[in-house]
Structure 1
Amino acid sequence: MASGAAGDTIAAATEAGSAGDTVVLSPRDDVAVALRDIRAGETVSLPAGDGGELRTVHAQQDVPRGHKLALRPIEAGRHVHKFGYSIGVAKEEIPVGCWVHTHNLKTGLGAVLEYTYSPSSAQEAAGTPWPGGRTTFQGYVRENGEVGIRNEIWIINTVGCISKTCETLARLGSKQFEGRGIDGVYHFPHPFGCSQLGDDLTATQKLLAALVRHGNAAGVLVVGLGCENNQIESFRQVIGDYSPDRVRFMKSQEVEDELEEGLSLIGELVDYAERFSRQEVPLSKLRIGLKCGGSDGFSGITANPLVGRAADAITSAGGTALLTEVPEMFGAETILMDRAADEGVFHDIVELINGFKSYFIRHGHEIYENPSPGNKDGGITTLEEKSLGCTQKGGHATVTDVLLYGEPSRKPGLNLVQAPGNDLVSVTALSAAGAHVVLFTTGRGTPFGGPVPTVKIATNSQLAAHKKNWIDFDAGRLIEGMSMEALRDELLELIAGIASGERQTHNERNGFREIAIFKDGVML
């Protein structure tokens, strides 16, 4: 299934006048998605078939909005299809018109699997031009050639116990240097860096070092305590080459007044940051992160395929799209494997998928415990159903690279990033991989934001109307008759405006910027 196909289907269904009740996403499907609450006893309209005939189903049970209604009798043990793919196995016989959910549908996925390299003959370039022929945005070009869309000062703490000092420095610095040619002074607290060993310490250092290198930060103050495992001396080595004008360090135990010293160093970084101004930058330099959180039954129908169209436009312009949430690829991973640029990338994807499954097994947890309670509430029943919707955010593009946790992106195109589905952890990983902005689709809503602008895209218009101070874009309009092309162009203009500094996201306006670091080991 090509990403965007679900969005095309619902747009066609809307034009046919059948979107008031349900939508069917593929001729192979055994279920329809309810576009409103359906009550037992109702006669429900379905999208017209190939012959254009009106079809109806008599609802046997209540079916909540976003949930699934059986279109045909389904035998116990048979695979149930949505998006044209299996989303699980019927636990019992399901008559026509019945609600299909966790009570009668279970995952059909297996454990660690073997895969065969078979590049798709239908593999295609994204080939979706940016509307209006746009080829550039207004960004900041750093001395090392890296690009940013904000001119900020970032404070990175090497250890959790210095977080409050850094928080105070950010607050005082923002006030003291307001109007000085920067977009603000920001700190991203975390609890790690002390008492960590081995791979855990390495992961913390890689993640923080990647943030130090991020182009949205014109200058960075690294603040340590002095006795932590993540010593500033060793952390410098992980950062690699850096300009001493851009990155400053302070070990709090060694200075008399860390606030006075910290503000002095921030002042020097502000002086450096004022050297930069926005200039025309090719779209090929833009990196976007792709993430869904609090999904519902419309995520794979509206917002995710819409984001896939935006990702196609960016990758076709030579830019980079970063897709993560590895456990939410389970069940749809072969779609990505078939789009691998070569056999080496294919094997990297296999290792990414099976490595994450082994992580679950190593900790004695069920691989397919996902979806979350909120997902199920919104109509998602199994992990494969969630994954088939989730992977649509990657559009049609070829998978050019697979990045380990904390690694920066190196190749344009669609990159897969090693990280779990957790919202904060995965958005932080996308930022560390170099995402200038994250497109975050949601059917449930959330106020949080990562260290980079985090665009909240509602899957349904009710959420967008209810949470106007959270949501930046309403993809639910696709259900209401707006075309995919018009919405895609509007979303791309929003992205261009954010990248060029003409627009802010709600998380920026609200001051909501957070990080979370992946942990998988012993703590002393």
Structure 2
Amino acid sequence: MQTYSFVKVHPEDSVAVAVQNLAASTVVEVDGRSITLLSDIPFGHKFAIKPIAKDEPIIKYGAPIGSAQTDIAIGEHVHASNIRTLLSEKAEYHYDKNLADLFQTKAKERQAKWQGKVPSIKAFRRENGSIGIRNELWIVPTVGCVNKIAENLVAWANTNLAKADFYDGIHVWAHPYGCSQLGDDHEATRTILSDLVHHPNAGAVLVLSLGCENNTPESFRALVGKVDEKRVRFLTTQEVSDELAESKKILSDLYEVMRQDRREDVGMDNLVVGFKCGGSDGLSGITANPLVGRFCDELTAMGGTGLLTEVPEMFGAEQLLMNRAANEDVYAQTVKLIDDFKQYFVKHEQVVYENPSPGNKAGGISTLEDKSLGCIQKGGQAIVTDVLSYGQRVQKRGLNLLSGPGNDIVSTTALTAAGCHIILFTTGRGTPLGAPVPTVKISSNSDLAAKKPNWIDFDAGRLLTEEADTVLSDFLSLIKAVASGETLAKNEENGYAEISLFKDGVIL
């Protein structure tokens, strides 16, 4: 395959992206025309491929990523010094039924390809009909005061409860809350913790309480609702003389209940997959995110479910998601999702566009629109079937939009709580982060994959030198292997798994 020095993402773009470091005076051929670079263009950064007048929109992905602060010449570096955002707190949206129908037609064509041919994975079938791709013991503290007790129990279990075909290990989802919170924050904490109790990757759960917390054992038990009492147990530590001994007995009993569990063949259409990016660079929206987007298209065509969150990283690209709404009601919910999150910024007197991190900018991302248009590539061309509030569990198959921030740990926790079995996490800069579920890291560039093999599960930089269908086929094989328990994600190998809860109000 040919090796490229740059990529022009969309035919209408006014910039191209360097996929290697390009020196000043280098001559590149773009659309049959020779362009001399006026300055060094770092890997992942943009250069102008046509003259751009001051205040004119700068086009990438076929859409504006900002406007020019000054006249920009052909071959000039296009970055934070000469581009400004076009975002504001309010925007006008519209529902185009003809465009929505076109996306529906394309979705049906993809569905026809998988009719009667959905691949299978090996998973644990739950009594409620759902599946789990891991069979783990989870300890869910109702309050941060018992975190260390739970951590001691995990250490004991790692020594005394042997890994087996029916048992993939134990985790505690430690957090600092469950007390001293008020209003919406308190309810959001309780909701996320309740979601974790119900998560299908947990073959059994110990809910560990103190006893005097605001998140009272009684009220939390009521919130959790109906459970299999053989697999979900509750212990209030203030009510027993030796909480460690009592907890160890419960964990041993739960382990014995799990002994009967075995993986069986289930359709891949049962998978619920979360999509996330973090430490993005200028190639994330060109390689890794589109690869995940193609996976999303195939998964939803099979009848599976995908979840896209990071709402602030939809700002500037939201209309493209709205164009794929399943109906006008979903369109209206998407508008509300965006407007509500913008109001969250306004309430705290913060601008909506101050998002790209120093690492993003160093990697070539200039504005939030630049980041957002790359971010939403993870949703492919799939139909948006539902919009979920923070803490809400998935109900409809297809692509769901989930309310949550861009913060990596908070958003991966929200994806887990919504019911994701696995998270596909794209990155250009690299991150070791792990959620409570397998968190598959996809690098946007091959240099990162080579440098951090202990973090990265898949190299999407291959798309610059290999056929896209070959890379997608290899990626599908990896996801099937991880889902079937044949391969561990790197975060699992490293023991990296944690949660973080979204908060908006005061702590007492």
1:144 aligns with 2:115: no
Give the total of aligned pairs: 501
Q: Distance in 1 between matches of 2:345 and 2:219?
A: 31
Shift of 1:103: 0.3
Question: Where does residue 391 of structure 1 map in the other structure?
Answer: 376
Equivalences for residues 169-248 of structure 1 within 5 A: 169-179=153-163, 181-248=166-233
Question: Where does residue 325 of structure 2 map in the other structure?
Answer: 340
Instruction: Kindly indicate whether the alpha-carbon contact (under 8 Å) linking 1:112 and 1:358 is maintained by their aligned counterparts in 2.
Output: no
Match of 1:485 among 458, 469, 482: 469
Question: Where does residue 118 of structure 1 map in the other structure?
Answer: 96
CA 1:303–1:342: 2 relative to 1, 3 Å: same
Question: Where does residue 7 of structure 1 map in the other structure?
Answer: none
Match of 1:514 among 489, 498, 505: 498
1:321-352: CA deviation from partner (whole Å, max 9, x where unpaired): 01100000111111111111111111110110
Q: Distance in 2 between matches of 1:21 and 1:280?
A: 44
Q: Which amino acid aligns with 2:287?
A: T
Question: Where does residue 5 of structure 1 map in the other structure?
Answer: none
1:386-430: CA deviation from partner (whole Å, max 9, x where unpaired): 111110101111100011111110110000011000000111111
Q: Which amino acid aligns with 1:522?
A: V
1:469-489: CA deviation from partner (whole Å, max 9, x where unpaired): 00000000111x211111111
Q: Distance in 2 between matches of 1:276 and 1:503?
A: 19
SS at match of 2:192: helix
1:299 aligns with 2:284: yes
1:26 aligns with 2:10: yes
Instruction: Kindly indicate whether the alpha-carbon contact (under 8 Å) linking 1:289 and 1:321 is maintained by their aligned counterparts in 2.
Output: yes
Q: Distance in 2 between matches of 1:197 and 1:319?
A: 37
SS at match of 2:102: coil
Question: Where does residue 44 of structure 2 map in the other structure?
Answer: 66
Match of 1:257 among 234, 242, 245: 242
Question: Where does residue 69 of structure 2 map in the other structure?
Answer: 91
Match of 1:56 among 14, 34, 39: 34
Q: Distance in 2 between matches of 1:179 and 1:496?
A: 21
Structure 2 unaligned runs (5+)?
Answer: none
Percent identity, aligned pairs only? 51
- Higher alpha-carbon deviation: 121-130 or 388-397: 121-130
SS at match of 2:412: helix
Question: Where does residue 6 of structure 1 map in the other structure?
Answer: none
CA 1:229–1:503: 2 relative to 1, 3 Å: same
- Provide the aligned C-alpha RMSD in A: 1.5
Shift of 1:45: 3.3
SS at match of 1:450: coil
Question: Where does residue 8 of structure 1 map in the other structure?
Answer: none
Shift of 1:122: 2.3
Q: Distance in 2 between matches of 1:67 and 1:131?
A: 42
Instruction: Kindly indicate whether the alpha-carbon contact (under 8 Å) linking 2:23 and 2:37 is maintained by their aligned counterparts in 1.
Output: yes
Shift of 1:133: 4.1
Q: Distance in 1 between matches of 2:205 and 2:9?
A: 48
Q: Distance in 1 between matches of 2:127 and 2:12?
A: 54
Instruction: Kindly indicate whether the alpha-carbon contact (under 8 Å) linking 2:48 and 2:76 is maintained by their aligned counterparts in 1.
Output: yes
The alignment's TM-score, normalised by the length of structure 1, stands at 0.93
1:63-99: CA deviation from partner (whole Å, max 9, x where unpaired): 1110001111111110000111111010111111111
Question: Where does residue 393 of structure 2 map in the other structure?
Answer: 408
Q: Distance in 2 between matches of 1:285 and 1:411?
A: 12
- Higher alpha-carbon deviation: 353-362 or 19-28: 19-28
Q: Distance in 1 between matches of 2:502 and 2:144?
A: 14
Q: Distance in 2 between matches of 1:240 and 1:88?
A: 48
Structure 1 unaligned runs (5+)?
Answer: 1-14
Shift of 1:166: 0.7
The alignment's TM-score, normalised by the length of structure 2, stands at 0.96
Shift of 1:117: 2.0
Instruction: Kindly indicate whether the alpha-carbon contact (under 8 Å) linking 1:296 and 1:375 is maintained by their aligned counterparts in 2.
Output: yes
Question: Where does residue 434 of structure 2 map in the other structure?
Answer: 449
Q: Distance in 1 between matches of 2:116 and 2:232?
A: 39
